[in-house]
Amino acid sequence: MKPHHVLAAMLLAAAFAGPALAQETDATTDAATGLALGQAVEDATGPGTTYVAETHGDWEIRCIRVEADEFEPCQMYQLLRDDGGTAVAEFNMFDLPDDGQVVAGATIVTPLDTLLTPQLRIRVDEGAPQRYPFAFCQPIGCFARLGLTAADLDAFRAGGEATVTIVPLPAPNQTVDVIASLVGFTAAFEALEARTADAIAAAEAAPAQ
């Protein structure tokens, strides 16, 4: 497998690693007394933990720490809130090697009480909306996986905001819109592309195993 294909597979895997890393393990309880037993605190800066490497406008670049000399997967991130300030969705975007129709990917995580059959819609400014199916749900929410073309990225770069529309399960005749700001999108994606290019160059320069 070519280095950039290996990198693409790692980026796809990393796209779903962040939310899982945020989950906490339940404390162990003593059966006799019902009292909680102490647990070792995980190193907040150790391999597998997530950190914010850069911020561009309303987008963060979040990376997963790895062992020395390993590829560090990164992705763009924005938490989407409703008008009342309640967190409704997470928007994650990652770069892919530009050797096919899909040049970037994204995952959008919505609440578990999202109605899946109407799918998820995204509209950049006043452009035509696009619809994407949900791929699966986990305890933290439901995931839509997006494949983005060069034209899609151009729309994000030129736009001011992207409207994400979902349908709530308790109210199937209604829709919920949340706004993803595109302020800083171009700079953030350029930084992400630079990290991908560096990773590909390092993989190609590494001696064959």
Of 11, 195, 191, 190, which Cα lies nearest the Cα of 92? 11
Tokens of residue 132, six digits:
């994407």
The listed CATH number (3.40.50, 3.80.10, 2.60.40, 1.10.3470) that belongs to domain 3-17+49-112+133-149+183-205: 2.60.40
CA-based nearest residue to 54, from 30, 80, 74: 74
In angstroms, rounded to a whole number, what is the distance separating the alpha carbons of residues 140 and 58? 23
Task: Determine if the pTM surpasses 0.85.
Answer: no
Domain residue ranges of the chain, discontinuous segments joined by +: 3-17+49-112+133-149+183-205
Distance CA 62, CA 51 (A): 6
pLDDT by residue for the chain (209 residues), tens only, comes to 454 544 455 455 555 444 433 344 455 787 777 788 877 766 667 777 889 999 999 999 999 888 876 778 899 999 999 888 999 999 999 998 777 899 999 999 999 999 999 999 999 999 999 999 999 999 999 999 999 999 999 999 999 999 999 999 999 999 999 999 999 999 999 999 998 888 778 777 766 65
**How far is 72 from 156, CA to CA, in rounded Å?**
25
Secondary structure of 54-93 in the HEC alphabet?
EEECCEEEEEECCCCCCCCCEEEEEEEECCCCCEEEEEEE
The helix/strand/coil state of 203 is: helix
Residue 202 vs residues 7, 144, 145, 197: alpha-carbon distances, Å: 11, 31, 28, 9
